């Protein structure tokens, strides 16, 4: 059986209002489509934690830079609908750009602080675009819970902050990263990798897992991160950052650490990959 799909805010609200009136809890999983097992793990969590699982599919133009891959971003609505039906999704919200950003749309949500650094430094305006669309989706769907992957760790913290700062009545839940057998974090962008790049790609996870293990042994943050960056560059990555940060504030940490997050962003050819792991490390 296919899952019902709505394309307008009016139709979305009509459905979710009925569920709320019946006392049901709603979980929202925002996505940009081209769904893989990582996304589907969020849908499974939505179904476990709420009565109704709503998934949005929207490739959000305002979070892409002018030289980024908005036009080329993978889109496969027919494939996504099949996967979401199989996962037991209660409702799919797939608006077009005009529904989300009608003529004259000019508002931006700027979270500040957390968004200045790391991916925010490498991708100016990216987090304003993310914060704006997520704020809209939360107001449109009015979920009780919204689920985001730790894969986009900085994004998860940005969304937690915006919900707190703007008093949006929703619980933000982070879900663990789903990986390939060889450690590569699943991403819609992995299909851009050439066969040769795909072979190198797992080193990204391997290197941050090694950094996390070294840090857990008491090694200093700066030297360990620098050695990791060097190894990645030597393997063919163009590294944007390898960073050891406070897991809550993302502030830089120096010297030995007890609790941290190791975050990396690097290009393989034209493809930008990101990943992160906790310190102390968890087994996967
Ligand atoms: P995207 O479609 O890339 O915008 O991702 C939609 C949601 O899926 C975000 O909350 C991501 O963090 C999450 N996600 C993407 N890849 C993974 C993964 N490998 N494991 C878990 N969650 C993921």
Q: Which two tokens stand for residue 145?
A: 């819970």
42 lines ligand 1 (CB under 6 A): yes
Per-residue model confidence as pLDDT tens digits over 136-151:
999 999 999 999 999 9
Instruction: Read off the pLDDT of residues 174-230 as tens digits, 9 standing for 90 and up.
Output: 999 999 999 999 999 999 999 999 999 999 999 999 999 999 999 999 999 999 999
Mean pLDDT taken over the chain: 97
Closest CA to 187 of 22, 111, 89, 73: 73
In this prediction the pTM is 0.98
> Residue 284: its pLDDT value, please?
67
The pLDDT of 15-39, averaged and rounded, is 98
Match 């913290």 to its residue by tokens: 157
Is residue 147 in contact with ligand 1, taking CB distance under 6 Å? no
Count the residues in the chain: 284
Q: Does the C-beta of 207 come closer than 6 Å to ligand 1?
A: no
Q: Give the span between the Cα atoms of 249 and 135, in whole angstroms.
A: 21
Preceding omega of 280 cis (within 30 degrees of 0): yes
Residue nearest to atom 13 of ligand 1 (CA): 149
Annotation says 39 is catalytic: yes
The residue whose CA has the least distance to atom 5 of ligand 1 is 31
């Amino acid at each position: 059986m296919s899952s019902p799909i709505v394309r307008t805010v009016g139709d979305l609200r009509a459905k979710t209002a009925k569920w709320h009136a019946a006392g049901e809890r709603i979980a929202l999983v925002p996505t940009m489509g081209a769904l893989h097992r990582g996304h589907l793990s969020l849908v499974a969590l939505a179904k476990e934690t709420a009565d109704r699982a709503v998934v949005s599919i929207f490739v959000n133009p305002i979070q892409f830079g002018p030289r980024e891959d908005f036009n080329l971003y993978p889109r496969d609505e027919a494939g996504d609908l099949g996967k979401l039906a199989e996962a037991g999704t209660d409702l799919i919200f797939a608006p077009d750009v005009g529904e989300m950003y009608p003529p004259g749309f000019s508002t931006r949500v700027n979270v500040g602080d957390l968004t200045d650094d790391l991916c925010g430094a490498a991708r100016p305006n990216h987090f304003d675009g993310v914060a704006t669309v997520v704020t809209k989706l939360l107001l449109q769907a009015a979920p009780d819970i919204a689920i985001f992957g730790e894969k986009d760790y900085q994004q998860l913290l940005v969304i937690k902050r915006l919900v707190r700062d703007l008093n949006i009545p929703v619980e933000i839940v982070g879900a663990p990263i789903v990986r390939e057998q060889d450690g590569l974090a699943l991403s819609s962008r992995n299909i851009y990798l050439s066969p040769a790049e795909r072979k190198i790609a797992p080193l990204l996870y391997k290197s941050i897992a090694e950094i996390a293990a070294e840090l857990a042994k008491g090694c200093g943050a700066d030297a360990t991160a620098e050695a990791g960056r060097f190894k990645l560059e030597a393997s063919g990555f163009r590294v944007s950052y390898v960073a050891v940060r406070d897991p809550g504030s993302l502030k830089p940490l120096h010297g030995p650490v007890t609790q941290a997050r190791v975050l990396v962003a690097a290009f393989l050819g034209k493809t930008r990959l990101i990943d992160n792991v906790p310190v102390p490390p968890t087994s996967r």
